[in-house]
Amino acid sequence: MTLPRFEAQHFRSRDFSSEAFTRGYYDTCTFKDCHFNATKLSHSQFAECTFDSCDLSAARIDDTAFKTVTFRECKLVGLYFEHCHFFLLDLRFERCQLHLSSFQKVPLSETVFADCDLREVDFSEADLRRADFSGSTLERAVFYRSQLESADFRRARHYSINPAENRVRGARFHRHGLAGLLHHFELDLSG
């Protein structure tokens, strides 16, 4: 079965949680103010697409391909990115809410998470080399056996990363955030 192709189309204020979403190939498309709550996006491909102010919470993304895709001011609560297709995976998140999402074992090197709310996100065993977490909140985010070499946490907040369980060589942290690296060792850092 050949899937339909959509090129350079603009989708605005569409509610795909109540109307049917067409599985297909979306190239250089823009989605603005669209709702994809619990929508099945599985087996679709998005290449050089932008999602702007969209709600994709609990969307099904099994075998979905995201190739050079930007999410800007989107709500992406409860997504399991480890179910995506990883070939040419390239994501960028700007001012997004990703609570309770999971990136277990996902290749995310050089991914930008700019000013995002990443509370309770699971990054276990993810490849986050050279990722940029500038301005993001990482409260209760899970980093376990994650590759964080040369990642930038200088402007990130509320992270808790155990250097004994993660690869952190060359990662950048601000001195005010060092408590997020040391609390696992139960040290008294007062006065």
Check whether 178 has a pLDDT greater than 70: no
Measured in degrees and rounded to the nearest 5, phi and psi for residue 179 equal: -60, -30
Span 109-165, pLDDT tens digits: 999 999 999 999 999 999 999 999 999 999 999 999 999 999 999 999 999 999 999
Judge contact between 49 and 69, C-beta under 8 A.
yes
Do 110 and 91 lie in a common domain? no
Span 153-165, pLDDT tens digits: 999 999 999 999 9
Do 86 and 111 lie in a common domain? no
Closest by alpha carbon to 80, among 64, 102, 96, 97?
A: 102
Give the per-residue pLDDT at 75. Answer: 98
Do 113 and 172 lie in a common domain? yes
- Among the candidates 42, 75, 95, a domain finishes at 95
**Residues 6 or more apart in contact with residue 1 via CB below 8 angstroms:** none
How many structural domains comprise the chain?
2
Do 57 and 110 lie in a common domain? no
- Among the candidates 65, 95, 125, a domain finishes at 95
Do 84 and 117 lie in a common domain? no
Helix (H, G, I), strand (E, B), or coil: what is residue 65?
A: strand
Do 70 and 147 lie in a common domain? no
- Among the candidates 95, 111, 140, a domain finishes at 95
Give the per-residue pLDDT at 181. Answer: 59
CATH code at position 180: 2.160.20.80
Give the per-residue pLDDT at 183. Answer: 58
Judge contact between 102 and 84, C-beta under 8 A.
no
Check whether 188 has a pLDDT greater than 70: no
| pLDDT band at 97; cut points 50, 70, 90 | very high
Do 148 and 171 lie in a common domain? yes
Note down the domain range covering 154: 102-191
Judge contact between 136 and 159, C-beta under 8 A.
no
Tell me if the pTM is above 0.75.
Answer: yes
Judge contact between 84 and 106, C-beta under 8 A.
yes
Give the per-residue pLDDT at 174. Answer: 75
Please give the residue that has the higher pLDDT: either 29 or 186: 29
Do 15 and 35 lie in a common domain? yes
Measured in degrees and rounded to the nearest 5, phi and psi for residue 177 equal: -100, 5
